[in-house]
Structure 1
C-alpha cells in the first residue's frame, strides 16, 4: 500500500499564450526561493527553455511533465521525484502551456495544462492579461473556472494593468465572482527575457540572466501575495503514488559501478549552444551505469577523459555557428570518436552539429548532410520506430518525441533513416566502424527517456561494451576551464527631451516609459553576436584592424574593397562628409535625420533645406532640386517620414559635378532592399549604412559607407586613426555571415508585419500616418499629445526636432502588436472625438491581433499555437 505524500503545489496557467505566465511563474519561483523556500519547478509540455529559467530561479533541476511523451501514470511519480531531488521541497510550482484547456488537437485536451492539473490534483492560479478589457476579464475567468469541474481554479494574478483605475475595475469585478486576486502587475512591470526565432533565449545564453532574475524576484515579492499563494498551494490533497526512481529502470545485464570514477563516461554536450535535454536523461545514464560529463563544443578542445559515449542534445547551434566551426580541434575529435564506433545519440542540435555544414559553416561532418536555416518552423509531436538494429535497441524500437526547429538537412545518397513515422522517415543511423549495428543515431526528434526506459538501457549497454574495448578514446584528454563573465552594467539616459538638431530619440526614454522613441529594433544584441563580441574582448590590448570588416562588407554588397569604408556609426560618416566633400551649395532634403544638417553646421557650412510637401506624402521630385546643388543628402527610407524613394527617382538626382549622399541607415529593414542604390557603379555617390539599428549596437557605434572610391579616399583622410573599434569591426564581420543575413531578412519581414498593425490601428483612430516602409511611422496627432503620452507612460519622438515638421507630429518606432495595442488604447483615450477625421470604428475592428511571431515574456507563443494545431 502506497503511503499518501503531502506536497503543497500550484499550477500557473493562463487563458491563452502571451498572457505573461512564464514571467510570472519564474518570478514566483525566484521570490519564494529567495524567501528561503525549497521550490520544485516543473513545466507542462515538451518545452526545454522555460525549465532553464526554472532551474536558475530555484537552484533545482527544471523538469517537464508531459503525459504524451511519457504516460499519464508517470506524471505524479515524476512530480514527486522532482519534489524530493536533490532534497525535499516545500512547494512545487508548475508552469502551464498555451491556454488552460489547450492540448493536442482532436484529443479532448490531452496533455493540456488542465489535464496535468487534474492528473496531479493541483490547484490552478490563472494569469490574465487585462490590457485589452476590464469587467469582461471576470466573465472570461468565470468561464475558465466552471468549464471543467475537475479543474480547481483558486485564484488569479492580473497582468498588464494600464492604470490604478483600470486595475481597480478589473479586480473588483473578479473578486465579485468569488475568485481571489493574488496581485496586479502594471502594464510594463519591466522584466522579460529576450527571444528569437524559436522563442525565449535560454537562460544559459544570457549574461544578464541572474541580475534580471533578481529584479523579477523583487518585483514579484512586492506585487504578488506570496503568503496567499502558499496557503492555496497547501490546500492541495496528498498524492498517493510512489516517486519515480531511475535506478529501477536499469535493464538486465547492465553493469553496476560503485563510483563515478569507475563508470564509463558519456560526454554530454552543454554550454551556450547545447542547452536542451530533459533532467531525467542524466539520471537515467547514471542509473544504467554511466557517468554523464558535460563538455562545451564551443570552448572545449577535446572530449572529457575516458569518454566512451556521446550524447548531443538540443540547443541553438545556428546562433553559435562561428564559434562551433572554429573549434576544429573538437570537431576533429568528435569525428574520430564516431568513426571509431563510439555510441552516439544526437537530437536536433546534435544532428546539425554532426552535419558537414550549417549555412556555410563547417561542422563535424560525421553525418553526410548539409544543414540550412529554413523560414518555416517545424513543431510537432511524433510517434516513431527505429528502422534498423542500433544502440537504441532492435529495429522497430518505438518512442514518442517532438520536433522543434527551423533548420533542414539535405542528406547525401545512400543514407539510412533513424526513424520511420506516420509521415515518412527522418534522421540518420550509421555504422561507421562496421560493427554490425548502427552506432550513430542522429535525428530531429527529442525523446523523453523516462517514457521509454529501454532506450537509455540499450544505449548504456553499448557504452559499456565500447568502454571494454581498449584503447578508450580520450583517456588523456583535458578540458579547458570555463571563463565566467560578469553581466553588463545597465545604462541610463536623460529622460528630459530637448528640441534641436542634436535631439535624438534616446533623450525621450526614461524609467517606467514604454519606448516608442528609439529606432533600435532589438533590446539587446542577439546571443550569437553578444558571444562574438565577448570573445573579442581578449584582443582589446591591440589597436584595431578593420581590414577584415572592409572585406566582409565588400563581399556582402559585391563591390570592390576600395568602395567600402567602415565608420564609427552613421554619425561619423556624416561628420566626415561635411568636412571632406567639397561643394559650394550643400543641400539637405527634409524632413530628414538631423545628423547631416548638424554635421554640416558644425563644419561651418550652412546647407540649403529642400522640404518635401506633406500634401504630396513627402514624395521626392528630382526636378525640383536646384541644379546647382552640388552636395545633396537624402534618406532612403527617410527618417522620420518612413518614405521609401524608388531607386529610379534617386538615380535621377545624379549629375556631373554633384555628390549625392544617400542615408540608407534603415534599408536593411526593407524586405528585399531592391531600392538600395548600392552597386558597383557609384560615381559621384556615397551611401551611408548603419549596423546599430537592426543588431542592437547603438552603444558600440558600427557603420560604413559604400561609394565612389575617389570620394571615400577624401573621407579616409579626415578619419582619425582607429576611430572604428575592434569590437565594431568584429561585429561588422559577424553580421555579414549567411546566417546573420537570414536573420536580418526575418527581422525585416517581422518589422513589416508589425508596421502594418500599427498603421491600421492609427487609421482606426481617424489618423493619417504617412505611407512608408521603414520600421517607424510618422503621424500628425495634434498639439500636446506627445507630452500626454509621456504622462501615460509612453515615450515617442517629438516631430518638431526634425526640420520641416512641427510639434503636431510624432514618430513612432515599430513594436510588437501587443505593445502597440497599449499605445493605441492610450491614443484613443487622448484623442476621443478630436482626432482628424474622427472614426467610430473600434481598435478591435481595425487592428486585429497580428499573427506575427512576438518578442515578449512568454517563450515561443507562436510555437504554442502551432503545437496545438
Structure 2
C-alpha cells in the first residue's frame, strides 16, 4: 500500500477556472515548502507545462484512453514519487469523457480509478443561489465520486457571495475574486504554452500568492490527506536497452515544439538512448551523433517564417530522414517535415503540403495500422488523440520502416512497445542494414545479390587449397600481382582488401576530410565508414525523376572526397565514365565503387586504372563467395600507398588471396563474361515481367533491379514467402521501393506471380 495525499480540481465545464485554481494551488503549496506533484486528466500538453513551472517537477498526464485504466494509478505514483501531495487538474466538465462511452476517460473516471476526493471550481460571475443547485447536481450524479468541497471563482460582491455560500451544502474552501490579470492567454488550440510566455513564471507566482491569500490551504491539505492508500506499484518503463551503446535521439523543443509527454523521454532513456533536445528555431544542425529523430507537437504554424529561415537545420533534417534515420513526427512534426506550411518552405522530407484551416479537428480515436511501419505492425490497434487546425495534401499518414509521420498523438506509456521498436531501430542504424538480414530461412531469396549458381570447380579447388595452407600467415603479394595484370597497371597502384568494406574504412581514415560527399542512393557502407571515423557526411541525391542519373554539378565545389557507385547499388544505374570524370579536380579524391562492374558485359564505363580516381572492387557476389571477403582497390600509387599504411597486417586472408588470384586469372575471364551475359538475360526477363505488371522500375545494368511496388509491398511479399531488399534504408528512397536480385526465369516467375497478387 502506498500513502499519497491527493485531490482532483474539477469543474462543471471548461472555462470555469480549473487551470487557474489547480496551478495556483500547486504554486502556493510549493511556496509553503511542500513537494507537489502536478497531474492533468486527459491528453492536454499545455497545462502540464504550467504545472511544471509551479512545482519544479515534470507535469504528468493521466488518461485511461491513452494508457489504459490499469496504468493510471501506477503512472500517478510514478509521477508523484517523493512528493508530499499530488494535485490533479481535471478536463472539461467533471463527467465529460470520450463521446459515446458514458464518461470513459473523464475527470470523474480518473477520480474513481485513483480513489481521489474532488474539489469543485465554480465560476460564479453571473450566478447566485443557482450555484447551490449546480453543486448539488454534481454531487448526486455519481455517488462513487466524492466531492469534498468547492472553490468559488470570479466572485463579485460580498453580499452575492454570502448568498451563494448559504445555498451550498458543501464546504467552501476559498473564494477567488474576479481578476482578469490571472487569466492565461489562449490561441486557436487553447492556452499559450509556457515556453512561449516570458512572463509565465511571474504569472504563476502571482497565482500562487492569490490562492494562498484566498483559499484555505490547510483545509485543502486535509482533504488531500483523507484520500485512501493505493494498492499498486509505481510505473516503471517496461523496455530494455538493445545494447550498451547510448545513441543520440534528437528531440525537438523550444517555442515551436512544446508538446510531448514526460514518459516518452523516460522510455527512450530506459531503452538505452540518450535524448538530446534541440530547438528548430535556433539550432543550425541536429545534435552531434544523431541516430534518431523525435518531432512532437506544438505550434509550427505560428513560427513558420522563423523555421523556414533556419535553412541549415531544415537541410540537416531532410538529409537525416532521407538517409533512413529513424524518425517519429507527431502533428507539428508532420508539418515541419512537409514540403510547405501555408506556402512557406519546410523540410521537404515528406511529400505533402500543409495549410491552416477554419475547421478544428478534435478526435480521440483508436486506430488500426494498415501496414507495417517504424512503430506499428499491420493490424495493430493503438489509442491516441488529434487536435489541430491544419490539413495536409495529400491526406494521410506517411510511414515506412524508418519513418512514422502522423497527426495522431500517442502516449507511449500506454504502448511501450512503440518506444522499444523506435529504440531498436535507433540502435540498429539503417546504414548498417544489409540484404542478408532479410533472407531468412524459409523465404525465397531475392534480397541478396549473390549470383545464383554453383561456383566453378577451379575456384573451389583454389579455396580448398587455401584452407590446406592456412597454417601459414597470408601473403597478399600474389593477389596484388593478379589485380595489376587484370587491369594493366603497376603493382604499386593496387591493394588487395578484405572485401570492399575494408577499402571504405581505409578511405574514411585516410585524411581529415573537410567535406566528404556520398552520392545517394547507393551502397551505405562508405557512408557508415565515414560516420564511424567521425566525419560529417554531405549527401548529394540522384533524383528518381531524373532516372537517378548523376549530376556532377550537384556536388559542392569544396568537396574533398566524393564517393559514387557505378553501377550503383541499389538503382542499377550505370553512369557514363565521362560524367564521373567531371567530378575530378585538384585536391579531391573521387572514389568509384565498382562492386558490380563485373556484372556488366565488357565492363564498359569502368574507370579502373584511370588517373585521379580510386576504384574499389568486390569479387564476392559475382563469384558466389560472400563468406570470403575478397576485394581490392585500383588508383594512383601515392593514394594506394597511403591506404596500405592504414591497413592492419594480414587483414586479407589466405582464402581471399587464393580467390583473387583465381577469379582474376586469364582462364577465369570467359567464365566471368558468361556470368555477366546470363545476368543480362535474367535481368531483362525480370524487367519485362515488371513492365507487364505496370510496376515502375529503374532500367538496370547490375545484378538487381530497383522497383516501386508501393506501400506495404515489402511486407506483403514476405507474407507470400518471398524476401526482397527493403530500400528505405538507402538514403533518398522510401518504403515504396524494393531492390530485387536477378534470378533465373523459373525462379523469377514465382516472384512475378506474387507481385501480381500484391498489386
TM-score by length of 2: 0.57
1:197-596 matches, within 5 Å, as 197-246=188-237, 248-250=238-240, 254-257=241-244, 262-411=245-394, 426-430=396-400, 438-466=401-429, 469=432, 470=528, 471-472=530-531
Relative to 1, partners in 2 of residues 1:465 and 1:403: Cα closer, same or farther, differing over 3 Å? same
1:146 and 2:136 correspond: no
The SS at the match of 2:8 is strand
Cα distance in 2 between the residues matched to 1:155 and 1:269: 41
Structure 1 position 256, deviation (Å) = 4.3
Cα distance in 2 between the residues matched to 1:256 and 1:73: 30
The SS at the match of 2:281 is coil
1:155 and 2:149 correspond: yes
Is the 1:343–1:391 contact (alpha carbons within 8 Å) kept by the matching residues of 2?
yes
Relative to 1, partners in 2 of residues 1:139 and 1:340: Cα closer, same or farther, differing over 3 Å? same
Is the 1:104–1:112 contact (alpha carbons within 8 Å) kept by the matching residues of 2?
yes
The SS at the match of 1:33 is helix
- Matched with 2:550 is none
Is the 2:365–2:383 contact (alpha carbons within 8 Å) kept by the matching residues of 1?
yes
The SS at the match of 1:406 is strand
Is the 1:387–1:396 contact (alpha carbons within 8 Å) kept by the matching residues of 2?
yes
Cα distance in 2 between the residues matched to 1:94 and 1:249: 27
The SS at the match of 1:315 is coil
Structure 1 position 291, deviation (Å) = 1.1
1:180 and 2:171 correspond: yes
- Matched with 2:4 is 7
Is the 2:330–2:408 contact (alpha carbons within 8 Å) kept by the matching residues of 1?
yes
Is the 2:139–2:147 contact (alpha carbons within 8 Å) kept by the matching residues of 1?
yes
Structure number with greater Rg is 2
Is the 1:305–1:477 contact (alpha carbons within 8 Å) kept by the matching residues of 2?
no
The SS at the match of 1:238 is coil
The SS at the match of 1:337 is helix
Cα distance in 1 between the residues matched to 2:534 and 2:297: 26
Cα distance in 2 between the residues matched to 1:462 and 1:162: 58
The SS at the match of 1:158 is strand
Partner of residue 62 from structure 1, selected from 59, 62, 68: 59
Point out where structure 2 has 5 or more consecutive residues left out of the alignment.
Answer: 433-527, 538-759
Is the 1:337–1:473 contact (alpha carbons within 8 Å) kept by the matching residues of 2?
no
Aligned length: 441
**Per-residue CA distance 1:45-94 (angstroms, 9 max, x = gap):** 0111111111111111111111011111100000000011xxx0000000
1:424-823 matches, within 5 Å, as 426-430=396-400, 438-466=401-429, 469=432, 470=528, 471-472=530-531
Structure 1 position 472, deviation (Å) = 4.3
Is the 2:324–2:431 contact (alpha carbons within 8 Å) kept by the matching residues of 1?
no
Is the 1:380–1:403 contact (alpha carbons within 8 Å) kept by the matching residues of 2?
yes
- Matched with 2:73 is 76
The SS at the match of 1:375 is strand
- Matched with 2:98 is 104
CA RMSD in angstroms comes to 1.7
Relative to 1, partners in 2 of residues 1:185 and 1:311: Cα closer, same or farther, differing over 3 Å? same
The SS at the match of 1:384 is strand
The SS at the match of 2:97 is coil
Cα distance in 1 between the residues matched to 2:410 and 2:193: 19
**Per-residue CA distance 1:235-282 (angstroms, 9 max, x = gap):** 000000011001x333xxx4243xxxx400100000000000111100
Cα distance in 2 between the residues matched to 1:92 and 1:476: 48
Is the 1:307–1:474 contact (alpha carbons within 8 Å) kept by the matching residues of 2?
no
The SS at the match of 1:231 is helix
Structure 1 position 234, deviation (Å) = 0.2
Structure 1 position 397, deviation (Å) = 3.0
- Matched with 1:43 is 40
Point out where structure 1 has 5 or more consecutive residues left out of the alignment.
Answer: 412-424, 431-437, 479-869
Is the 1:313–1:347 contact (alpha carbons within 8 Å) kept by the matching residues of 2?
yes
Structure 1 position 477, deviation (Å) = 7.6
Cα distance in 2 between the residues matched to 1:468 and 1:255: 17
Is the 1:305–1:475 contact (alpha carbons within 8 Å) kept by the matching residues of 2?
no
**Per-residue CA distance 1:145-170 (angstroms, 9 max, x = gap):** 12111101001000111111111111
Is the 1:264–1:291 contact (alpha carbons within 8 Å) kept by the matching residues of 2?
yes
Is the 1:304–1:474 contact (alpha carbons within 8 Å) kept by the matching residues of 2?
no
